[in-house]
Amino acid sequence: MTVAGPFGLNVRDQALEADVQAGLTAVEEGLLDATKSDVPFITEAAQHLVRAGGKRFRPLLVMLAAQFGDPQEPGIVPAAVVVELTHLATLYHDDVMDEADVRRGVPSANANWNNSVAVLTGDFLFSRASHMLADLGPEAVRIQAQAFERLVTGQILETAGPRDGRDPISHYLDVIAGKTGSLIAVAGRFGAMMAGADEGVVDILTQYGERLGTAFQLADDVLDIASDSHESGKTPGTDLREGVPTLPVLRLRARAASPEADTADRELCALLDGGLPDDAAVEEALRRLRAHPALEEARRDTVRYAEEARATLAPLPECAAKTALESLCDAVVHRAG
């Protein structure tokens, strides 16, 4: 079985493959339908990132979690569309905050039009997700609202930075648990819940999504430094340019703050603190970070969270869907390899 592009899963189960592929195809159709407007320009802007593709990681998790109940239940595909619409909306907003030029290998919405269009398009996607969510019942609305609160709180915490005396790495892990883990946890929860799985199974898949979401973001942190634009779909060093303190940089700073730190660590921190005013400075920072032990430490952190996600699945019965979820842990780690 091979699904979801870079998250292709190799599971020899034709029934699972058929269910997941059919579900993802329906999600794709649902995304296009949900992003249509009577105003052609809104349709164009709203479908900009939908048509650019993407990993569809969250819908994939919805479909796999649904295998622990009845995967034909009618609420599963709409729930997956809601989760992906919410994710897409955050990308429009993130690109404005980060002043990003590229997203998924195409010009970002803010670069293609302007910041106002990007922000308002993100709001449009949130509104469409909310409209669909209302049909899934009050419990789904409550779950999504709680996740959205966590997502926004994570973004605010990132913007505000750690309070005095707080370990920056612990603060950052809280940030990404909110910004990324919360919505991926909802994907696991919605899939199982909409399929009518037992409450204990729903809880397991929620916890799995939370931990996998953290690993997923840490892998992105590594990719921002280690990959080229072809691999990641965005400009390498984007986070560095914007001064976003991702985990490899935080690991570097922790080393540089040690009394035993060598001069090279402090010099690299000074380079980053200088604001990286041009492409040459960014390339120099990337070159040095790619060779620095801090990057390998961040990779190990990614592996740790992925293994925690895998361990969460232990109580579930052995089946093709469980094997596929375990393979997702491997796929996330592979991205950071």
Domain residue extents for the chain: 14-335
Superfamily classification of domain 14-335: Farnesyl Diphosphate Synthase (1.10.600.10)
* Ranges in the chain, pLDDT < 50: 1-6
- Distance between CA 314 and CA 291 in Å, rounded? 36
Strand, coil or helix: 107: strand
Please report the pLDDT score of residue 217 as a whole number.
93
User: Looking at this protein, which amino acid is placed at residue 32?
Assistant: L
Helix 14-34 and helix 115-134: axis angle, to 10°?
A: 120
Q: What is the pLDDT of residues 149-193, one digit of tens each?
A: 999 999 899 888 898 888 999 999 999 999 999 999 999 999 999
Please report the pLDDT score of residue 197 as a whole number.
97
Phi then psi dihedrals of residue 79, to 5 deg: -65, -40
Please report the pLDDT score of residue 116 as a whole number.
79
Q: Structure pTM? A: 0.89
Burial (CB count within 10 angstroms: exposed 0-12, middle 13-18, buried 19+), residue 21: middle
Burial (CB count within 10 angstroms: exposed 0-12, middle 13-18, buried 19+), residue 322: middle
Sign of CA dihedral 260, 264, 267, 272: negative
The string of DSSP codes covering 163-227 is PTT--HHHHHHHHHIIIIIHHHHHHHHHHHHHTT--HHHHHHHHHHHHHHHHHHHHHHHHHHHHS
Please report the pLDDT score of residue 231 as a whole number.
54
Widest CA span in the chain:
63
Please report the pLDDT score of residue 236 as a whole number.
79
Strand, coil or helix: 65: helix
Please report the pLDDT score of residue 104 as a whole number.
60
Which of these, 43, 49, 155, 34, lies nearest to 108 by C-alpha position? 49
Please report the pLDDT score of residue 278 as a whole number.
87
